[in-house]
A = this chain, B = another copy of it.
Amino acid sequence: MPTKRQALILTEIVRIYNETGQPVGSKTLMNQLPIQISSATIRNEMAALEEDGLIMKNHTSSGRLPSTSGYRYYLDYLLQPSVVSPQVFSTISQDFDRDFHEIDDIVKQSANILSNLTNYTSISLGPETINVTLTGFRLIPLGGDLVIAILATSMGSVESRVYRIPASISSDDLEKAVRIINDHLVGLPIDQVKQQLATEMPQLLTKYLHSPDGFLDMFGDVLRHAAAEHFYIGGRSNLLNSVQPDDLNRIKSIYQLLDKESVFPSLLDLRPNNDHQQSTDKPISVKLGDEFDNALLNDYGLITARYHVADHGEGIIAILGPTSMPYSQLIGLMQLFTDELVKKIYEYYNHFHDDS
């Protein structure tokens, strides 16, 4: 456990290292610290901090920089979110001030705003589809034996996919089947729809379809895609800001990682299992270096902010940048940003359900 003075020194090391990117020496600290102590004393304190594993050296005679544990300690105990400037605030509201046609657009735009604001990479995941209900299911014939199956949800998202229908099924029967789906399932939460799909629907449909399996597979397939989480990454190229010019291969690997969009959210553990206590407590949490599963991200930090939209579950927005980010400012920013985002999403949903 560092003493109060050691904590002060650690905070200062984090601050200066984040600003300059260079290891911090005892003389520099002496000039910057609010208290009057000599460089020798600072050296002694730094030796103690190094003993505790909170700071480290690049080589015998270099200044100190925060270790991962040092960052961790700083984030958990020392950091204080700084207040966001009014200009930034008005920038955010301005960027959000448009009419969004789909919830996905809001999610996308939020990632873009945040990455523009911070010059880091941003990842945005829409509110969980807890209370989303099925609004409608349609089949539109395309000619031939192909149809487009369209599924709409109360969130305003539409999923459409093309399928082949065996010629043996008459279009009358198809229409009836679609009507049954709509009569029985519209208005139900997606989860329940999935459930009924396995239990009651097969029986109901056998009246009209000889073998409803194909039809149900199709419906299930669209449903699965509609319920899948959509997320967006903004400012990919900012990842290049933080990297040393020499290790080009690492950049490449990280980009390949980003390209494989499918694995990204699980890799970053954006939606942790509930066992993971620490992160579920606070709305904003930070994941550092070796806490990632993938070694490629060892030099990166991820600031994750959870936000809750009334009756619509949790969404997530995150910043991915180098380990040394101005956390204090960024976390202040995130608090404000999620507030605005929640406001916007809430507003969007309200337009739906209110004026009927």
- In the complex, the answer to whether B255 meets A164 with C-beta atoms within 8 Å is no
Expressed in whole angstroms, the minimum distance between the Cβ of A61 and any Cβ of chain B is 28
Chain A 228-243 interface mask (CB, 8 Å, partner B; 1/0): 0000000011001101
In the assembled complex, the Cα of A136 lies from the Cα of B160 at a distance in Å of: 13
Expressed in whole angstroms, the minimum distance between the Cβ of A58 and any Cβ of chain B is 21
A140: chain B residues at CB < 8 Å are 135-136, 138, 150, 152, 158
- Chain A interface residue count, CB cutoff 8 Å, equals 43
User: Which chain A residues numbered 2 to 46 have a C-beta less than 8 Å away from chain B?
Assistant: none
In chain B, what residue has the closest Cβ to A103?
A: B162
Chain A 150-176 interface mask (CB, 8 Å, partner B; 1/0): 101010101011111001000000000
Expressed in whole angstroms, the minimum distance between the Cβ of A314 and any Cβ of chain B is 23
- Which label, helix, strand, loop or mixed, suits the secondary structure of the A interface? mixed
A243: chain B residues at CB < 8 Å are 248
Chain A 120-163 interface mask (CB, 8 Å, partner B; 1/0): 00000000000000011010111111101010101010101111
Q: Which of B150, B167, B259 contacts A160 (CB 8 A)?
A: B150
- In the complex, the answer to whether B252 meets A146 with C-beta atoms within 8 Å is no
CB of A355 within 8 Å of the partner chain: yes
CB of A245 within 8 Å of the partner chain: yes
CB of A180 within 8 Å of the partner chain: no
CB of A256 within 8 Å of the partner chain: yes
In the assembled complex, the Cα of A243 lies from the Cα of B163 at a distance in Å of: 44
In the assembled complex, the Cα of A163 lies from the Cα of B351 at a distance in Å of: 11
CB of A246 within 8 Å of the partner chain: yes
Known: A140-B138, A142-B135, A142-B352. A236 touches B248 (CB 8 A): no
- In the complex, the answer to whether B255 meets A146 with C-beta atoms within 8 Å is no
CB of A251 within 8 Å of the partner chain: yes
Q: Which of B146, B150, B256, B353 contacts A143 (CB 8 A)?
A: B353
Known: A248-B245, A259-B237. A352 touches B158 (CB 8 A): no
A143: chain B residues at CB < 8 Å are 135, 154, 352-353, 356
- In the complex, the answer to whether B144 meets A353 with C-beta atoms within 8 Å is yes
CB of A276 within 8 Å of the partner chain: no
User: Which chain A residues numbered 235 to 278 have a C-beta less than 8 Å away from chain B?
Assistant: 236-237, 240-241, 243, 245-246, 248, 251-252, 255-256, 259
Enumerate 7 A-B pairs (CB-CB under 8 Å) in ascending A order: A136-B141, A142-B352, A143-B154, A150-B150, A160-B160, A237-B256, A241-B252
- Chain A residues at the B interface, C-beta cutoff of 8 Å: 101-102, 135-136, 138, 140-146, 148, 150, 152, 154, 156, 158, 160-164, 167, 236-237, 240-241, 243, 245-246, 248, 251-252, 255-256, 259, 351-356
